[in-house]
């Protein structure tokens, strides 16, 4: 399940507020509006983006941007306790009941995928290969999204420099005309400002966030793969708890585990009614 990442929105709002506030505090906010600079930076960036990526990738830009402001809702402690509970059921009742159990109690598609493989008789190597392959493609998907945002972040400042040249050349040719110097110098500086703003306030942080989210999800999946492999091997739930807690550097107290068990049992009772 994905939820809006409040920290991402707060960070963007803070950045925009302070930059815009700094512009307004100069008392010359109108000086930061320059239509030729806007044409060069925005038009050039859009054109470069369209040139760089095929149409099917371009269509994914907006979903990728929205993805950067959302994050998967998960808790490693909850994941470990879920694996332990599934291991307990497998040890007591066998593997076949796990299929019904995960459909009733688990929304996580990755855990479901692993359990279904185990129920279907996959050995440890097949299980790991399948789940690691799924993780690999997840990372590649995030990398493609981050690459699009990084491309925009890299292009905008370069076009800001281009805008500087566009303003500098006419200015040097008109040093004897004071009426030209001001507008041309404004074009130089405002172009660099627009390029830096687009890159370092918006798109570079979004690209970095996507990369971090991919790393976090990959680490989580590594934990789940170890847990699912342990279930496939028929390991003792207590041993699985110890191994996964060490893997994630998390300590689970008895109260948390008891509360989780009680919650599962309560759900089972409700489902039986």
The 10s digit of each residue's pLDDT in 142-180 is 999 999 999 999 999 999 888 888 877 777 777 777 776
Find the mean pLDDT for residues 207-234: 93
Question: Please, what is the angle between helix 97-105 and helix 76-93, to 10°?
Answer: 150
End-to-end CA distance of the chain: 27
| pLDDT at site 237 | 92
Phi first, then psi, for residue 76 (nearest 5°) are: -60, -35
Spatial distance between the Cα atoms of 79 and 92, rounded to a whole number of angstroms: 20
pLDDT of residue 266: 38
Residue 2: is its pLDDT beyond 60? no
pLDDT at 72 > cutoff 80: no
Kindly tell me if the per-residue pLDDT of 271 is higher than 60.
Answer: no
pLDDT higher for 202 or 171? Answer: 202
Instruction: Please choose, from the candidates 164, 161, 206, the residue with its C-alpha nearest in 3D space to the C-alpha of residue 188.
Output: 164
pLDDT for 252 beyond 70: no
Radius of gyration in angstroms for the set of CA atoms belonging to the chain, rounded to a whole number: 27
Mean pLDDT of all residues belonging to the chain: 85
Least confident of 57-66, 79-88, 233-242, 251-260: 251-260
pLDDT digits (tens, 9 = 90+) for 73-129: 778 889 999 999 999 999 998 888 898 888 888 888 999 999 999 999 999 999 999
Cα separation of 51 and 248, whole Å? 43
pTM attached to this predicted model: 0.79
Residue 47's pLDDT is 95
Q: Report the b/e string of 222-240 with b at 16+ CB within 10 A.
A: ebbbbbbbbbbeebebeeb
Nearest Cα to Cα of residue 11 among 164, 206, 182, 152: 206
Helix (H, G, I), strand (E, B) or coil at 234: coil
Least confident of 5-9, 94-98, 107-111, 269-273: 269-273
**Closest residue by Cα to residue 210 from 153, 125, 271:** 153
Mean pLDDT of 23-52: 89
């Amino acid at each position: 399940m994905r939820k809006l990442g409040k920290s991402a929105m707060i960070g963007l709002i803070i950045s925009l507020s302070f930059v815009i506030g700094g512009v307004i505090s100069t008392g010359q906010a109108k000086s930061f509006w320059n239509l030729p600079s806007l044409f060069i930076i925005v038009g050039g960036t859009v054109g470069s983006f369209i040139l760089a990526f095929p149409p099917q990738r371009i269509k994914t830009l907006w979903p990728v941007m929205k993805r950067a402001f959302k994050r998967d809702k998960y808790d490693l402690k909850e994941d470990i306790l879920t694996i332990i509970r599934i291991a307990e059921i497998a040890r007591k009742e066998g593997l076949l009941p796990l299929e019904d159990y995960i459909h009733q109690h688990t929304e996580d598609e990755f855990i479901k995928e692993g359990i279904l493989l185990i129920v279907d008789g996959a050995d440890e190597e097949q299980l790991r290969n399948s789940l690691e392959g799924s993780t690999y493609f997840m990372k590649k998907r995030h990398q493609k999204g981050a690459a699009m945002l990084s491309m925009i972040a890299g292009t905008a400042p370069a076009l800001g420099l281009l805008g500087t040249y566009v303003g500098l050349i006419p200015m040097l040719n008109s040093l004897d005309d004071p009426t030209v110097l001001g507008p041309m110098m404004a074009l130089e500086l405002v172009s660099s400002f627009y390029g830096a703003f687009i890159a370092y306030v918006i798109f570079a942080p979004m690209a970095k966030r996507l990369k971090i989210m991919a790393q976090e999800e990959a680490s989580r999946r590594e934990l789940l793969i170890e847990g699912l492999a342990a279930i496939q091997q028929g390991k003792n739930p207590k041993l699985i708890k110890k191994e996964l807690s060490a893997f994630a550097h998390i300590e689970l107290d008895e109260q948390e585990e008891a509360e989780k068990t009680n919650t599962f049992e309560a759900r089972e009772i409700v489902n039986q009614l």
